[in-house]
Amino acid sequence: PQVKAFVTQDIPLYHNLEMKHLPGADPELVLLSHRYEELERIPLSDMTREEINQLVQELGFYRKEAPDAPVPEEFRFAPARPLPTLLPTQAPTADSKTLPEHTKEEHPDL
């Protein structure tokens, strides 16, 4: 009953969190990468509704006030983490005043 209450009442409030019903399967949270690759599975059967809400928020999902409430721009891609920089980083020299150009984070695929 705890998981069912979370699914029916809480999931609609979270941005970028969706429910897929699989008949006969134990409820679990499946975390996916930005390319929809599976990262982790977290069983939910033994958790209370409050524990599931706490977990989802700790993972970085944004909870809206209402299902149709707007999502602030800074949470648009939440809970996505920044992609690792693929270019090697350079340590600034003692006399340099600016950071190298490639340290600016850009994620055109998000």
Distance CA 38, CA 105 (A): 24
Q: How many domains does the chain have?
A: 1
39 is in which domain, residue-wise? 2-75
Specify the pLDDT at position 83: 55
Asked if residue 92 has pLDDT above 80, the reply is no
Ranges assigned E (strand) in the chain: 28-32, 38-43
Q: What is the pLDDT of residues 21-38, one digit of tens each?
A: 889 999 999 999 888 899
Distance CA 27, CA 46 (A): 10
Q: Does residue 54 fall inside a structural domain? A: yes
Specify the pLDDT at position 33: 86
Residue in the block written with tokens 């958790």: 47
Q: Does residue 62 fall inside a structural domain? A: yes
Q: Does residue 84 fall inside a structural domain? A: no
Asked if residue 91 has pLDDT above 60, the reply is no
Asked if residue 108 has pLDDT above 70, the reply is no
Q: Does residue 38 fall inside a structural domain? A: yes
Q: What is the pLDDT of residues 45-89, one digit of tens each?
A: 999 999 999 999 999 999 999 999 999 999 998 888 665 555 555
Burial of 16 (0-12, 13-18, 19+ CB in 10 A): middle
Specify the pLDDT at position 34: 82
Distance CA 65, CA 5 (A): 17
CATH number, residue 23: 3.40.30.50
pTM over 0.75: no
